[in-house]
Structure 1
Amino acid sequence: MTDPTEDQLATLGNAFETFTRRYKLADARRAERPLAELDKAVLLYIAEHAGCGPTDVARFLGVPQTTLSSATDRLVRRGFLKRERIEVDRRAVALTLTKDGEAYAKAQVEAYRQIYMLMLSRLSPDERDRFIAMITKIVYNDS
Structure 2
Amino acid sequence: MREPTEDQLAALGAAFETFGRRYKLADALRSERPLAELDKAVLLYVAEHAGCGPTDVARFLGVPTTTLSSATDRLVKRGFLKRERIEADRRAVALSLSEAGAACARGLVDAYRQLHLLMLSRLAPNERDPFIAMIGKIVYDDS
Please give the alpha-carbon distance, in whole angstroms, between the structure 2 residues aligned to 1:53 and 1:69.
11
Unaligned ranges ≥5, structure 1:
none
Please give the alpha-carbon distance, in whole angstroms, between the structure 2 residues aligned to 1:134 and 1:97.
34
Partner of 2:76: 76
Give the drift of 1:126: 1.3
Partner of 1:104: 104
The total of aligned residue pairs comes to 143
Unaligned ranges ≥5, structure 2:
none
Question: Normalising by structure 1, what TM-score?
Answer: 0.99
Please give the alpha-carbon distance, in whole angstroms, between the structure 1 residues aligned to 2:124 and 2:90.
54
Residues 32-88 of structure 1: per-residue CA shift (max 9 Å, x gap): 001000000000000000000000000000111100001000000000000000011
Give the drift of 1:26: 1.1
Give the drift of 1:125: 1.4
Q: How many percent of aligned residue pairs carry the same amino acid?
A: 80
Give the drift of 1:9: 0.4
- In the TM superposition, 1:110-125 aligns within 5 A as 110-125=110-125
What SS is found at the alignment partner of 1:79? coil
Structure 1 residue 29 and structure 2 residue 24: aligned? no
Question: Normalising by structure 2, what TM-score?
Answer: 0.99
Partner of 1:4: 4
Structure 1 residue 46 and structure 2 residue 46: aligned? yes
Structure 1 segments, 4+ long, off by >2 Å, are: none
Note the aligned Cα RMSD (angstroms).
Answer: 0.5
Please give the alpha-carbon distance, in whole angstroms, between the structure 2 residues aligned to 1:53 and 1:135.
30
